[in-house]
Amino acid sequence: MNQYTIFPFQFARLSQNDILMVNECGDFLFLPEDIFQLFVNHTLPETSEYFCKLKSHIFCADENIEIALQKTAARYRTRKSFLREFTSLHMMVITLRCNQHCEYCQVSCADRDAHKYDMSKETAIKVIDMIFQSPTQRPKIEFQGGEPTLNWDVVTASVLYAEKIALQQNKNVSFVICTNLTGITTSQLEFCKDHNIAISTSLDGERSIHDSCRKDKSGRGTYDAFMEKLETARKIVGEDMVGALMTTTAFSLNKLKDVVDEYVRLGMDGIFIRSLNPYGFAAEQSATLGYSMESFVEKYLEVLKYIIGLNARVFFPEQFATLLFSRILSPFATGFVDLQSPSGAGISGAIYDFDGSVFPADEARMLARMGDRHFCLGNAATSSYHDIFAGRKLKEMTSGACVETTFPCAFCVYQAFCGTDPVRNYLESGSEVRNMSHSPFCIKHKGILRGLFDILRKADDMTKDIIWSWITYNPSLVRRI
């Protein structure tokens, strides 16, 4: 028996003879089965090449454990450094009113004239005062709805007030407006340009796919109106300031390549292949819009290979894979509220409803709209910052939302790259902490991560260059045809 000390890691069999090992700081190695057995039984010769690899990736230490401990701890701290930026994403629901009625909307949009669902200027000011109490130096304020352009005065008042406070506090505030674009005006776009407000919009694919779900109040597709406004928005605000997100439904699941082609045709800077969330209308219409998570994973990996192939000609990242590849291949923290451990709900992002109610995530606000205010943390008008962000509710929720301490995540080889979502757990099981086995969340992330490791294992030089070009957002890393 050799005297080396084994450091914490998780493992899984990826194929007959290949074992994937991932340690506490996200370093990974593929090991042949026989070598793995020797290693865990403390019989791997310390002179072997594999031992050197294992030692250099801190899967073990021979003599000086303290140095290996310090190294691992430093890397662990780096991976968890998103915690230092405590609540940097703040979403304000400017109104619940909307000019569209999308089939999968998760926010239960209100009618165009239902002004009682508008955020008032007074509430907006109180929300912004609260946002600037967060310790982050770089608060990001995202205006959401409904359709936030329908309550434009409050958007402008919020931006002007936030800019003033940012100047006073020497903070770097940034803005995003989430809009379907179809009703946006030239003057609104000019305001966005003048105040550096990025536009996040929705495009599900080519006309037939987009129009299947994204409809106006009378049920007509919005593709033409969207295209017209997209062109105007790009001209006024700038192409790099207009991004789009897609949602995969049963209408597009088997046509994801067409969706990608549409994004490439329009010169989008990448795509985020998103699955449907089980909230709002999407939950009500799951029979027509939904699909199994297993089929999503299969189609996602299929289209991801197609996108990698496309990158031999054009720089076009898939953003979810980019995020996960960054976690796998780089030591740095990647902020993504939906997939963090501890969960990003409340501690990385928070949402302020039109009436000032504060929730840890948009899905928690959706639950409240469905009648369950379990996750409401307080109200920006009546509660203090401390009550909301250092209160018992958020502390309890966060302490339970760590994959490192939840079964079976604590034993999962993908633990270092994954996260948890207490709101979704609650919605699906009635409890914030649940056994994740067989949950759609686990099926999705485990399936995708397994697929990504398979890509990495088989990657040729071109594929590796493409992956690194995504991670570093550097198109010149790939020699294109």
Partner 1 sequence: MATLFSMNKDGLTGSLVASTAFFSRDCLLMVSDNYSKEYYISIDAHEEEQVRVTLMKKDGEKFDERVLREFINELIDFQTRLMLQKEFGEIRKKIVEYAFSPVE
Task: Give min distance, CB of 128 to partner 1, in A.
Answer: 31
Annotate 430-448 with DSSP letters as a single string. Answer: SSSS---TT-HHHHHHHHH
For residue 219, which phi and psi values (nearest 5 degrees)?
A: 95, 5
Distance CA 478, CA 481 (A): 9
172 versus 405: smaller Cβ distance to partner 1: 405
Task: Give min distance, CB of 330 to partner 1, in A.
Answer: 18
45 versus 408: smaller Cβ distance to partner 1: 408
29 versus 203: smaller Cβ distance to partner 1: 29
Query: What token pair was written down for 235?
Result: 């001209």
76 versus 272: smaller Cβ distance to partner 1: 76
Task: Give min distance, CB of 76 to partner 1, in A.
Answer: 4
Give the helix/strand (H/E) hosting 28.
strand 28-32
Q: Which amino acid is at 401?
A: A
Q: What share of the chain is helix, strand, coil (3-state, %, to 5)?
A: 50, 15, 35
Task: Give min distance, CB of 181 to partner 1, in A.
Answer: 42
Distances (CA, A) of 270 to 177, 246, 318, 471: 19, 11, 6, 12
**Is residue 1 classed exposed, middle or buried when 0-12, 13-18 and 19+ CB atoms within 10 A define those classes?**
exposed
Residue length, the chain? 481
Task: Give min distance, CB of 404 to partner 1, in A.
Answer: 8
| Site residues (vs partner 1, CB under 8 A) | 5-11, 13, 24, 40, 65, 69-70, 72-74, 76-77, 80, 407-408, 411, 435, 437-438
61 versus 364: smaller Cβ distance to partner 1: 61
20 versus 268: smaller Cβ distance to partner 1: 20
69 versus 477: smaller Cβ distance to partner 1: 69
Distance CA 185, CA 447 (A): 42
Query: What token pair was written down for 415?
Result: 């633990």
Task: Give min distance, CB of 352 to partner 1, in A.
Answer: 30
Task: Give min distance, CB of 458 to partner 1, in A.
Answer: 23
**Residue (of 324, 294, 318) closest to 416 by Cα position:** 324
Task: Give min distance, CB of 79 to partner 1, in A.
Answer: 9
Sheet strands (E) in 222-348: 242-247, 273-274
278 versus 440: smaller Cβ distance to partner 1: 440
Pseudo-torsion of CA 334, 340, 343, 348, nearest 10°?
10
How do strand 357-359 and strand 378-379 relate by DSSP bridges?
antiparallel
Q: Which amino acid is at 291?
A: Y
